[in-house]
Amino acid sequence: MSSQDTKTTRLADIATAMTAVTEAAAISASRWIGLGRKEDGDGAAVEAMRAAFNEQAIDATIVIGEGEKDEAPMLYSGERLGLGGPAVDIAIDPVEGTTLLAKGMPGAIAVLAAAPANTMFRPGPAFYMNKLVVPPAARGAIDPNAPVEAQLKALGKAVGKPVSQLRVFVLERPRHEKLIADIRAAGASCRLVSDGDVLGSLFAVLGDRVDALMGVGGTPEGVISACVARALGGDMFGMMAPQSDEEKAKVEEFGLKPGQILTRDELVSSDEVIFAATGITGDDMLGGVRKVNGRTRTETLLIGGGNQMLRWLTTDRLLND
């Protein structure tokens, strides 16, 4: 067996476990769809994720938990989970898009990324990151320090489109007013979305709906996005972008510089990455949790590094509720 085959086999084993974890989180969170209580939905997903991890034959270290930024319930960074097995770093977002969940809007997902132990960037207190995510054709073609117009020109050249046909995923936030104006002034268009830049990064890497993702979002989501980019051969840069003096001071104390740019491979230094996402509220990429013939159906997207494969899994479970 070649080393590539060995790697693939090991990944496949962990991959199944990872889908069980995101599915458990999505099912628990789905009970809170549209109830206006995002912390409760997030808390349910966190507890379900923790319980599901502890049933898997892995030695998982949570490198990136979620919650501190939104004062939501935590799966703590540094927490060890699992029954023992391959040592992996885990970045989780039990509900990516808690507001979407609380409002019953499309696009909330339960998501995680896994990679071999000690290969994921530890963001510490850095909550916000300025991201640039592009598809494989543009890998190495974009200067993260260049103005937006120059980046879009380089992107267009790399993907073979005029700038006027490029669309950029941007979170709709007041902080992005200038970015949005710059994108439009360059002749490109924006897909403005209220939440969910992990899905945005996935779309950008796939060149599906958008050609790039730009702007400031959560750092946890950023590391998960870097795993997607690495697994599928796309590119990403993440720039430390503290949004308050307090965050800036903590980031500096931690040894990171505001404005410091991390490459995709600094964000995750292994090709052996796994990404799993299960739809909660559902959108046109991943259906949400729903009842079908008395069973609970989930839709999960699984991406395994190395072979650049995307796998969609539809699972129906008989649950007692």
Positions touching ligand VTB (CB under 6 A) are 70, 96-97, 171, 173, 195-197, 217-218, 221
**125 or 217: CB nearest ligand VTB:** 217
Smallest gap from Cβ 139 to ligand VTB, in A, equals 23
What tokens does 284 get?
């046109």
Nearest to ligand VTB of 123, 217 (CB atom): 217
Helix/strand/coil for 156: helix
Distances 67 to 74, 240, 313 between C-alpha atoms, Å? 5, 19, 28
Query: Residue 5: phi, psi to the nearest 5?
Result: -65, -40
Which phi and psi angles does 206 have, rounded to 5°?
A: -80, -15
Query: At closest approach, how far in Å is the CB of 245 from ligand VTB?
Result: 16
Q: Which residue has the tokens 């267009």?
A: 156
Minimum Å distance from CB 116 to ligand VTB?
A: 25
210 exposed, middle or buried (CB, 10 Å; 0-12, 13-18, 19+)? buried
Closest CA to 268 of 81, 67, 64: 64
Q: Report in angstroms how near the CB of residue 99 gets to ligand VTB at its nearest.
A: 6
Q: Minimal CB distance to ligand VTB: which residue?
A: 217
Task: Kindly tell me the sign of the dihedral angle through the C-alpha atoms of 105, 106, 107, 108.
Answer: positive
Minimum distance from CB of 156 to ligand VTB (Å)? 25
Of 157 and 173, which has the nearer Cβ to ligand VTB? 173
Give least dist CB 221 to ligand VTB, A.
4
Question: Nearer Cβ to ligand VTB, position 100 or 268?
Answer: 100
State which residue, 58 or 216, has the beta carbon closest to ligand VTB.
216
Closest contact distance (angstroms) between CB of 97 and ligand VTB is: 5
Nearest 5°: phi and psi at 200?
Answer: -60, -40
Q: Which is nearer to ligand VTB, 97 or 238 (CB)?
A: 97
- Between 14 and 216, name the residue whose CB sits nearer to ligand VTB: 216
Beta-strand pair 189-193/274-279: unpaired
Q: Given the complex with ligand VTB, which of 86 and 97 has the nearer CB atom? A: 97
* Nearest distance from C-beta of residue 227 to ligand VTB, angstroms: 15
The order of strands in the sheet holding 261-263 is: 189-193, 167-171, 212-218, 128-134, 235-240, 261-263
Q: Which of 137, 189, 192, 144 is nearest to 159 (CA)?
A: 137
Tokens of 58: 């892995």
**Nearer Cβ to ligand VTB, position 42 or 272?**
42
Distance in angstroms (rounded) separating the CA atoms of residues 46 and 24: 10
Strand stretches in 29-86, DSSP E: 59-64, 80-81
Shortest distance, CB of residue 224 to ligand VTB, whole angstroms? 10
What is the rounded distance in angstroms from the CA atom of residue 199 to the CA atom of residue 93?
12
Residues comprising the chain, all counted: 321
